[in-house]
Amino acid sequence: MPNIIRLPLKGSGANDNQPRYTSVSVDNVVSLEKSGSNDRTIHVFYNSPGSATDNILRLSIDYSWINVASIVSDQDIKNLERTIKSANQKPGSAPIFELFGAINDSSNVTQYQVSGIDLKSEAAPTNL
């Protein structure tokens, strides 16, 4: 059974507070990092071969931005690490991961929902 987590998708549900979810595999995750302008992206690096020698797979999870200096916080990365560990310890559990800001800023909840996901092959980061 695959180890997955679920992420809320922006604009997918009946209203902003009831999004639908996408599933993301967390098997073989080796590293996480925040990236992009206003820290709008979480990169998930997998210990899986990419399309070229010395490449690995990288999943980019993009969030919207409205009026916040930084969307993804250091605490979000720690929380995601814990969620991944939980999913890997309990296969089939499919826990939901939401950014911490979604709890504190319900008036702008959509900026804390996933606006896009991209999987690509790239050279492994130097910190791996």
| Distance, CA of 126 to CA of 70 (rounded, Å) | 24
| Residue 118 falls inside a structural domain | yes
Kindly provide the b/e burial profile for residues 88-120, where b requires at least 16 CB atoms within 10 angstroms of the residue's own CB.
eeeeeebeebbbebbeeeeebbbbbbbbeeeee
| Residue 109 falls inside a structural domain | yes
| Residue 61 falls inside a structural domain | yes
How far, rounded to the nearest angstrom, does the alpha carbon of residue 27 sit from its chain's CA centroid?
A: 14
Residues 40-96: tens digit of each pLDDT: 899 999 988 877 777 889 999 998 766 667 889 999 999 999 999 999 999 889 999
Q: For the CA atoms of 82, 75, 122, 88, what is the dihedral angle to 10 degrees?
A: 10
Predicted pLDDT of residue 67: 66
| Residue 128 falls inside a structural domain | no
Check the CA dihedral 14-61-112-68 and report its sign: negative
| Residue 45 falls inside a structural domain | yes
| Distance, CA of 100 to CA of 119 (rounded, Å) | 24
Range of the domain at 32: 4-123
| Residue 56 falls inside a structural domain | yes
| Residue 73 falls inside a structural domain | yes
Tokens encoding 113: 């929902």
Per the CB < 8 A criterion, the answer to whether 32 and 43 are in contact is yes
| Residue 119 falls inside a structural domain | yes
Residues 18-33: tens digit of each pLDDT: 899 999 999 999 999 9
Q: How many domains does the chain have?
A: 1
| Distance, CA of 44 to CA of 31 (rounded, Å) | 6
Give the pLDDT mean for 89-115. 84
| pTM of the predicted protein model | 0.88
* pLDDT bracket for residue 15 (50, 70, 90): confident
How far, rounded to the nearest angstrom, does the alpha carbon of residue 22 sit from its chain's CA centroid?
A: 10
